[in-house]
Chain A
Amino acid sequence: MLELNLNMKLLEMCSKCGACYSICPSCTHLPGYDPRQVVADIVQGKFEKWLSSSSIWQCLECHYCLEMCYQHYGFENAMTALRTIATKRGLNPPQVKRGWDMFAKTGKLGEPALPARKKFGLPEPSKSGGEELKKVLDALKDRRGKGHH
């Protein structure tokens, strides 16, 4: 289960439901955002057109759909899967690439602001585990290279 999978049977129900629509912040406030349509297209194998759409990046991952879902599934899973494929094809927003590069390089999304720490009398920041994490992520790559998926 380390690799992402979708449950098409649950998604089929999801495409016909909408129990989460009245609470989903993007459904209620972003005109044109319609996850049920996205899910219906996934189920029918027609997801390609969504890969370059800004719509799939508008899921806020607030997990309301998961909480409201009768199947305890939520369309967020579908959005995450589309984002992953879009990123593999280089169709991601530029900021995602910048964030990922920073994470891959340092294991963090930023370094402690040292002058401000001094100003507020904060102690030296703890040591980062970035180097160790890199080894783990490299081991993950190796494992995939050997055909474990």
Chain B
Amino acid sequence: MKEFAVFWGCTIQTRFPFLEKSTRIVLDEFNLPYKDIDGFTCCPEKSLVNNVDHASFVVTAARNVALVDELDYDLVSPCTGCVSNLATVKGELCSNPKEKAEVNELLKGVGREFKGTAKLQHLVPFFHDTVGVFAIKQKIKKDFAGMRIALHYGCHMIRPSHALRNDDPIAPVKFDNLIAALGAVSVQFPTKMMCCGQGLDRVDQHDLALQLARVKLKELKALEVDALVLCCPSCFLQFDNNQYLMEKEGEKLGVPVIYFTELLGLALGHTPEELGITAHRVDCAPFLKKWAECSGQAAASTMDDELNAQGAL
């Protein structure tokens, strides 16, 4: 497997260091050749930087990609936004040699060159495609049989598809496959592919951000799912923090929000404390309680005992 740099992004390192922790735990568990490299900046955030100045958006992303190009590493990120933004710019520059030359002229001043050779992947499709469902299954210590998980892909894990090219942009399956590999049921529901709406919080429209969060959370409450699982710090902010804010105002929806790396970490035998699940705003105890009950009930297969038993002929 090719070595890869992890692009942590601003949101995880600023607001949710425990998500970095659980990501490192699962990367270590699979002995993956990941690197921390110096020199990254904000990806940059599209809804902010691209809206203000497209050229700044392009050169900032191109410089970040140049860092991994130079080292001949690939790049993996546990943030959907970061990967989507970097890939969008990579796609724009690789299909436009004139613009690429303009950008490289600017980067030359600091000794960098954007080549666009590094593969840029989000952590979920990376685990699906590069680590593989089979390898994951082999390592599971305690699966999630009997658990009902609602998945939230996060728009930028899969779109824009021309830049990311990792799954179907309307009806993706890879995250679902991983949930199935962990033994849980990925519940299908009408708002599954709906955007979280966190973007509204970044443009001073907090009430509307809550309105969008409410649509999905109410549906999940009615469906009595055990958790909402996602892998994007922005979606996490929307469903964990904003759900907590609604709770404080007396609107309790009670949907535990679990990051993919935390779910995987639990299956590999790590504790909720180690993984930082206890640092969430919305209480995850009901999810963990249900999980304990499920594994208590699961009848152990007697297959191996039968096979190893004496008495053939």
B195 close to A113 (CB less than 8 A): no
What residue of chain B has the Cβ atom nearest to residue A24's Cβ? B195
Contact B98 A109 (CB under 8 A): no
Contact present for B21 and A96 (CB under 8 Å): no
- Tell me whether A112 is interfacial, beta carbon within 8 Å: yes
Contact of B49 among A1, A25, A100, A144 (CB under 8 A): A100
CA gap between A107 and B17 in the complex, in Å:
19
Per-position binary interface string of chain B over residues 91-116, scored 1 when its CB falls under 8 Å from any chain A CB and 0 otherwise: 01000101100110011011000000
B159 at the A interface (CB under 8 A): yes
A29 to B215, CA, bound (A): 9
Give the docked Cα–Cα distance between A31 and B158 (Å).
27
Query: Which of B173-181, B199-207, B245-253, B258-266 binds A?
Result: B199-207
With the chains together, A96 CA to B47 CA distance in Å? 9
Q: Using a CB-CB cutoff of 8 Å, which residues 5-45 of chain A contact chain B?
A: 23, 25, 29-30
Contact assessment for B109 and A139 in the assembled complex, using a CB-CB cutoff below 8 Å: yes
Known A113-B13, A130-B41, A136-B63; judge A61-B36 contact (CB<8 A). Answer: no
Chain B residues positioned under 8 Å from A58 (CB to CB):
200, 203, 205, 208
Please, which residue of chain A has its CB at the minimum distance from the CB of B20?
A122
Contacts of A137 in B (CB 8 A): 56, 59-60
Contact of A66 with B39 at beta-carbon distance under 8 Å, contacts A3-B54, A80-B50 already known = no
List chain A residues, Cβ under 8 A from B67. Answer: 129
A4 to B110, Cβ gap below 8 A? no
The answer to whether A103 and B48 touch across the interface, beta carbons within 8 angstroms, is yes
- Contacting residue for B10 out of A80, A84, A109, A122, CB 8 A: A109
**A129-B66 Cα distance, complex, nearest whole Å:** 12
> Residue B33 at the A interface, CB < 8 A?
no
Q: What is the chain A residue whose CB lies nearest that of B45?
A: A109
Q: Is the beta-carbon distance between B109 and A29 smaller than 8 angstroms?
A: no
Residues of A within 8 A of B217 (CB): none
Residue of B nearest to A74 (CB): B160
- Could you tell me if A2 and B60 are in contact, using CB atoms closer than 8 angstroms? no
Question: Any chain A CB within 8 A of the CB of B18?
Answer: yes
CA distance A1 to B55 in the complex (A): 9
Chain B residues, CB < 8 A from A125: 13
Q: Which residues from chain B contact A66 at a C-beta distance below 8 Å?
A: 159-160
A140 touches B14 (CB 8 A): no
- Chain A 62-99, CB within 8 Å of chain B: the 1/0 string? 11101110001000000010011001000011111001
Q: Is the CB of A116 within 8 A of B51?
A: no
B24: interface (CB < 8 Å): yes
Contact in complex: B159, A64 (CB < 8 Å): yes
Q: Indicate if B53 sits at the interface (CB-CB under 8 A).
A: yes
Q: A2-B54, A25-B195, A135-B110 are contacts. A60–B200 as well, Cβ < 8 Å?
A: yes
Residues from chain A with Cβ under 8 Å of B162 in the complex: 72
- Could you say which residues of chain A place their CB within 8 Å of the CB of B200? 57-58, 60
Contact assessment for B39 and A127 in the assembled complex, using a CB-CB cutoff below 8 Å: yes
Residues of B within 8 A of A132 (CB): 39, 63, 110
A83-B51, A136-B110, A139-B109 known; A57-B203 Cβ under 8 A: yes
Q: How far is the CA of A121 from the CA of B28 in the complex (A)?
A: 14
Contact (A96, B37) CB under 8 Å given A58-B208, A62-B159, A110-B14: no
Given A109-B11, A123-B36, A126-B37; A60-B197 close (CB under 8 Å):
yes
Q: How far does the Cβ of B247 sit from chain A's closest Cβ, in whole Å? A: 21
Please, which residues of chain A bring their CB within 8 A of the CB of B13? 110-113, 125
Q: Which residues of B lie under 8 Å from residue A135 when comparing CB positions?
A: 109-110
CB of B203 within 8 A of CB of A93, answer yes
Pairs A–B under 8 Å by Cβ, sample size 22: A2-B103, A3-B55, A30-B211, A58-B203, A58-B205, A60-B155, A61-B155, A80-B50, A87-B51, A95-B202, A96-B203, A99-B45, A109-B42, A111-B13, A122-B24, A123-B36, A132-B110, A135-B109, A136-B59, A136-B60, A140-B56, A140-B106
- Nearest first, the 10 A-B pairs at minimum CB distance are A110-B14, A107-B41, A129-B39, A63-B159, A127-B38, A62-B155, A57-B203, A109-B10, A62-B195, A83-B51
Contacts A1-B99, A63-B155 known; 4 new A-B pairs at CB < 8 A: A25-B212, A67-B159, A136-B107, A139-B106
